Chains A and B, each alone.
Chain A
Amino acid sequence: MLKLAWKLVWGRRARAWLAVSSVAVGIAVVLVVLSALAGFSQYLFDRATGTLLGDALVTQGHRVAERRTGDVFDPAPALARLAADSAHVLAAAPRLVVPVLIGTERSERTAFLYGVDPRVEARISRDVTGLEQLDSPSSGDVPETRVLLSRVEAEALHLAVGDGVDLIATDRFGLPRAKHAEVAGFFGAASRDVEAIVVLTSLDVAGELLDARGLAHEVALALAPRDRALDRLLVAARRLAGELAGGGAADAGWIVEPWTAVAPAVLDYVNINEAVYRVFLVIEVCLVALAVADILWLGLTERLRDLGTVGALGARPAALARLVLAQAGLLLGFGVAIGAVLGRAAGSYIEHVGIPGLDAAAAFSVAGFSIGAGVTGHFEPAQLPIAIGVVLAAGLAAASLPAWRAARLEPARVLSHR
């Protein structure tokens, strides 16, 4: 019966390719939507919790020390090296995250940036360049440096914007362990006049950075909203805080909290985003299901005469239903195989290139958070079985109707309608 199903499917190649294409495109579209919406979700979360780079605003210029003289650490080349060396870390890093950076050295008026996320590398560089441009020798009276967080970010991080914090830049990924010493060495060797360091990072990195510097005032631990390791990480964070406090930190004002406690209002925004995410997904899945169902239904309906003939030759009703399901299975199988490749490629494209149509101007606004340039898709391996499962379910549901119809057809009636 499978051979006959194959013959019936392959015998009408145009129709078969149409059905296979609809399944493949359906899977690809679901994957793209999942990736895009996951990217939106992550972007909004990052905006809400202040872990997105590039939102710092320079409100007053001031002379920044030359950072390329060799005696002052210039993080930009190091960042590039770290990014290049961190591919395996980027792949393995939990979503909790967050490297960081924040440091202001009052004595030298120097701001340092740190980050290893290649996606934001360009923005880091741009920010650094911006600061360099402020380093104008012609400036006589040097005002106080003031690099501000957005209000929401500052609130989310429980920071007092002002003298305590001059700059914040963050990144989502942890540093490779091999680089810890280098980073810690930098902090250890730098000026001792750092007023504040806020670190959002992996626990190991946070520990080493802060141990080395011993000057941090606060730690805010940002966690992904769906991070399943939340409790475990909180316990670890609290332990770290205790160790740091007992280890001679200059100021033991450690605060270790989940982001939802730090900024409960942010949870509303994230929840809104989640709701939007689900609505989009449901709509998309319905559209895909209808398209697949339509193609399969049409194709199988056109083969009713063949089914009637097979029935007239002695196929039982259940065998006719199986024949229909086998045809659908073949179409779905090929569609899934092609769609998985196509979808993975499309997901990868929007992950690396970004979501077409979003320019620098805010394209969307959700609960006061604008979403603009910098939004990229976020492909996760788990999205693939979800997309395949959704389209398979839609396809089998679509095939079940003609299968049921085939099981009930009267051969004489079908054949008399030629």
Chain B
Amino acid sequence: MGERIHIDGVSRRYGAAAVLDGVSFTVESGAFAVLVGPSGSGKTTLLNLIGGLDRPDAGRIAVGSWEVSSLAARERADYRKRHVGLVFQSFNLIDVLTARENVELPLEMLGVDGRARRERALACLAELGVAHRAEARPTELSGGEQQRVAVARALVKEPAVVLADEPTANLDHATGGELLDALARLAATHGTTFLIATHDPRVVERSPVRYVLADGRLVT
């Protein structure tokens, strides 16, 4: 079941540059929302803050009952492990592991035993259409396959919230469409809350909930 994301007056600076400036909005539980904006508008930074990868300089971020913005490093790690699925723009697959092992990794951290881990990873890869590449290393996969493996890794633990950064950026039109179909299907099946940073119009068209960032501020 998805959880509500509430962002209130969040700001983040890197040195003198204000990347986010007083951003506030709420994504309801189970929503399929997109975060739109040009490069450098702060989308990735905002996802990092919501995912507990970084901390805001000001403001409050709450995901369900988690006060993410005030968590200590160890608690943020637990929060990421149990509640958040992250899809990185650059995949960040571990290249010494196979696709299946990459997908199994979050389950291993949760203490899922080996057989169940393997079955769930393969099922998730199958759902995204890359089960036949399960034993391939990331360097042996195409960009689109890597992207789908990265998505499988984010979804395999059935998190309450999935944060995806440009998940269709490396995919052709058909593959991107298939991936979006899979995400929409998962959102409907599990009630997972999706927040997707993108500037891909195909993604934007599919989402009824849109937030637009420009120069670190929420425009709409």
Contacts and interface: CB of A to CB of B under 8 A. Distances in A.
A305 B77 contact: no
Contacts of A312: 51, 53, 80, 86, 88, 92
Interface size class of A (residues with CB under 8 A): 20 to 34
A11 B80 contact: no
Given A4-B105, A317-B73, A309 B96 contact: no
B48 interface: yes
B77 A311 contact: yes
Contact of A415 (B78, B88, B96): B88
Contacts of A317: 73-74, 77
Interface in A301-321: 305-306, 308-319
A418 B81 CA distance: 22
Contacts, number: 71
Nearest to B72: A317
Nearest to A415: B92
A316 B54 CA distance: 14
A64 interface: no
Nearest to B114: A3
Interface string B86-118: 101010111111000100011011000000000
B77 A410 contact: no
A418 B54 CA distance: 17
Most central of B53, B78, B93, B153 by chain A CB within 10 Å: B53
B6 interface: no
Contact of B94 (A306, A315, A415, A416): A306
A315 B109 contact: yes
A99 interface: no
B94 A309 contact: yes
B121 to A, nearest CB: 14
Nearest to B102: A309
A7 B92 contact: no
Interface size class of B (residues with CB under 8 A): 20 to 34
Given A312-B53, A412-B53, A412-B54, A305 B78 contact: no
Interface in A55-92: none
A230 interface: no
A313 B54 contact: no
B92 A305 contact: yes
B81 A313 contact: yes
Most central of A7, A315, A415 by chain B CB within 10 Å: A415
A12 interface: yes
The prevalent SS among residues of B at the interface is helix
Interface string A312-350: 111111110000000000000000000000000000000
A58 to B, nearest CB: 71
A310 B82 CA distance: 14
B88 to A, nearest CB: 7
A314 B109 contact: yes
A410 B54 contact: yes
B53 A314 contact: no
B19 to A, nearest CB: 11
Contacts of B101: 7
A10 interface: yes
Contact of B90 (A311, A412, A418): A418
B81 A314 contact: yes
Contacts of A267: none
A309 B92 contact: yes
B106 A313 contact: yes
Nearest to B86: A312
B92 A316 contact: no
Contacts of B81: 313-315
A314 B92 contact: no
Nearest to B109: A314
Nearest to B45: A412
A406 to B, nearest CB: 12
Interface of B: 44, 48, 51, 53-54, 73-74, 77-82, 86, 88, 90, 92-97, 101, 105-106, 108-109, 153
Interface of A: 4, 7-8, 10-12, 305-306, 308-319, 410-413, 415-416, 418
Q: Which 6 A-B pairs have the closest CB atoms?
A: A11-B96, A314-B81, A412-B53, A412-B54, A314-B80, A412-B48
18 contacts: A4-B105, A7-B96, A7-B97, A8-B94, A11-B95, A305-B92, A306-B94, A310-B94, A311-B77, A312-B53, A313-B86, A313-B105, A314-B80, A317-B73, A317-B77, A318-B74, A412-B54, A415-B92
